[in-house]
Amino acid sequence: MKAIIQTSTALTPNVKRFLIETEVPINALPGQFVTLSFPELLDENNRSIARSYSLLNWAANDSQLPVIELCISLNSLGKVTPWLWGLDKPVEIESTEALGTFTLRDYQDSVYDEVSRILFICTGTGIAPFIPMIEHILNNHPQKEVFLYSGNRNFTDELFTDILKLWEVEFPLFTYVPVFSREVSAENYGYVHAFYKEALHMNCHVYVCGWSEMCKEARQHLKAMGLTRKQYFFEQYN
């Protein structure tokens, strides 16, 4: 369907939030993504280049989204993101419906009663699908412990700090752990994998989102910790 990139605002030096109006409002579950194609950007076969992006917002209670929100990081050597950064007026593109199965298990179902703790592990814009997912759990399953481990290089790369800190105050069972790989003075200095291990236990579910290296490493750690394939779920960005 047709869609129009309306506005973008900087969230960090390298990440922008984009608002996109779709021709028809879409349904979306927390964790889903859209695939956008860009008629102004053609590949070697003269076809529009397409890229996928996780939705920052979602449609509660069977409602529909009039505008979709995305959070995108600039890859200065990439084909699409430098073009997105250069836009100075609304532009028409194409969008799919919300897609993907990286969504929350149905925690209403008694089969998941024993899952007492849910961990979210990400780096960079891998946090995008977790914003609606965590919001959903906090509001609908307040008895579950929720941990978010979010890795970035520098303090200036941290995303959604205000809302995450607010949720920590509002929801006592929510813990936010920002980790920084290039800030020696950080409370949590290093790679994200060094920090979530202590929170893992046999009754937890783990959602992981980010680029392939991070996902690969997380998979190895989770397996080594004895978690089964039914306990962890991945969204890999490439």
Ligand X SMILES: Cc1cc2nc3c(=O)[nH]c(=O)nc-3n(C[C@H](O)[C@H](O)[C@H](O)COP(=O)(O)OP(=O)(O)OC[C@H]3O[C@@H](n4cnc5c(N)ncnc54)[C@H](O)[C@@H]3O)c2cc1C
130 scored as a contact of ligand X (CB under 6 A): no
The angle, 0 to 180 degrees and rounded to 10, between the axes of the packed helices 130-140 and 161-170 is: 10
150 scored as a contact of ligand X (CB under 6 A): no
Nearest distance, CB of residue 73 and ligand X, angstroms: 4
Nearest distance, CB of residue 83 and ligand X, angstroms: 8
DSSP string, 11-62: EETTEEEEEEEEEEEE---TT-EEEEEEEEEE-TTSPEEEEEEEBS---GGG
85 scored as a contact of ligand X (CB under 6 A): no
Binds ligand X (CB under 6 A): choice among 12, 95, 103, 125: 125
Q: Exposed e or buried b for every residue in 172-189, given b needs 16+ CB within 10 A?
A: ebbbbbbbbbebeeeebe
Give residues 219-238 in contact with ligand X (rule: CB under 6 A): 235, 237-238
What is the distance between the alpha carbons of residues 142 and 129, in angstroms, rounded to a whole number? Answer: 19
**Two tokens, residue 12:** 């960090």
Quick one: which segment of 19-27, 73-81, 143-151, 171-179 binds ligand X (CB under 6 A)? Answer: 73-81
Quick one: which segment of 45-53, 60-68, 131-139, 171-179 binds ligand X (CB under 6 A)? Answer: 45-53
Site residues, ligand X (CB under 6 A):
33, 51-54, 70-73, 75, 78-81, 124-125, 128, 211, 235, 237-238
